[in-house]
Structure 1
């Protein structure tokens, strides 16, 4: 077993590899400590409540114990950021009654969308989002669902779909743009 100083000297990839091999929580704890303030910041940005954000930070750590065994993560920091964001969005969705901009910031550009009024029912927005996802080209739909809903990284999507990396990236970007346009038209 390494000393705490030796663990701090290891890269994220080294720590991930050691955690997957041993499943020792102190290794994951060292890795998570590096980015805990980032995770808290993401949670605070979306949840807008310090206590809820603290709870979310712990829930995300508990989630990592399971999900890191199942996922091949190459860029831990960006993957963790996306995981934290998605956790908060799902929390907001479960809470209901929030504006759609808070639920799906990946669809709406900064400043919000003028066509949505305060008090719009969340379920209507989510229903419309599902309809808009259904209008995407098959490749875009598949890649958008894998990336945003199943939290797969580009490499995992490449492996699952057989599309090359640039195609996957293009399908996700174009799908995101098409979803935004669809939501604006039918909002």
Structure 2
């Protein structure tokens, strides 16, 4: 994957990720961001390939995601860059598929987080329909505050139970309960509102 190696030799790579994020946020130097992004480009390509299944589209996506980071990292404070970047990639690809109105089956995606986030009801059914994206957004708003917060932190920001407990102040067992109940309520709501 030679096309990925565009930031070699940048001195910003010797800084820690946190230092690189701060340096980029304060300076806007794309070289600093490139040095931060470069070690993750193969991961980004792999995540994109999992969804898009097209090498050229994935190469384009790697660069488009970098362009997205150029803007977003100037305003977003990110603590765990790798997990945040993984979420950005996944969401980018899902939006690409949505724009193409392409369907992905649950069999195609083996990651439990992906399946439960978009709620597949059977192995042969498409993982999502165009209307289900709208239903997901609407249904998130119907959840109790605690369920919505924990679902978003767990699935969209990929935080673990312990991190969610520390961030929200909720008891660890409550966090697990909120996520399970919220997931169940989301599934019911999406099935009711997201079908053709």
- CA–CA separation in structure 1 for the residues paired with 2:128 and 2:114: 17
Are the aligned partners of 1:73 and 1:153 in contact in 2 as well (CA < 8 Å)?
A: no
- CA–CA separation in structure 1 for the residues paired with 2:131 and 2:78: 34
What displacement does 1:25 show? Answer: 0.7
Structure 2 counterparts to residues 24-103 of structure 1, below 5 A: 24-99=29-104, 101=106
Structure 2 counterparts to residues 158-177 of structure 1, below 5 A: 164-167=167-170, 170=175, 173-174=179-180, 175-177=182-184
Report the equivalent of 1:114.
Answer: 122
Change (3 A) 1:8 1:134: closer
- CA–CA separation in structure 2 for the residues paired with 1:30 and 1:144: 32
SS in 1 for 2:73: helix
Unaligned stretches of 5+ in structure 1? 155-162
Over aligned residue pairs, what C-alpha RMSD do you find?
Answer: 3.8
Change (3 A) 1:121 1:28: closer
Report the equivalent of 1:141.
Answer: 148
- TM-score, with structure 1 as normaliser: 0.70
- CA–CA separation in structure 2 for the residues paired with 1:63 and 1:5: 20
What displacement does 1:181 show? Answer: 5.3
- CA–CA separation in structure 2 for the residues paired with 1:168 and 1:87: 33
1:21 equivalent among 7, 14, 26: 26
- CA–CA separation in structure 2 for the residues paired with 1:32 and 1:76: 9
**Over residues 52-75 of structure 1, what are the superposed CA-to-partner deviations in whole Å (9 max), with x where a residue is unaligned?**
111111110000000001111111
- TM-score, with structure 2 as normaliser: 0.68
What displacement does 1:79 show? Answer: 0.8
**Over residues 121-173 of structure 1, what are the superposed CA-to-partner deviations in whole Å (9 max), with x where a residue is unaligned?**
8234345435543542234235646886xx6687xxxxxxxx94353993873
- CA–CA separation in structure 2 for the residues paired with 1:105 and 1:139: 22
Report the equivalent of 2:16.
Answer: 11
- CA–CA separation in structure 2 for the residues paired with 1:140 and 1:29: 36
**Over residues 43-96 of structure 1, what are the superposed CA-to-partner deviations in whole Å (9 max), with x where a residue is unaligned?**
001111111111111110000000001111111111111111111111111111
- CA–CA separation in structure 2 for the residues paired with 1:100 and 1:14: 40
- CA–CA separation in structure 1 for the residues paired with 2:100 and 2:65: 17
Change (3 A) 1:66 1:106: same
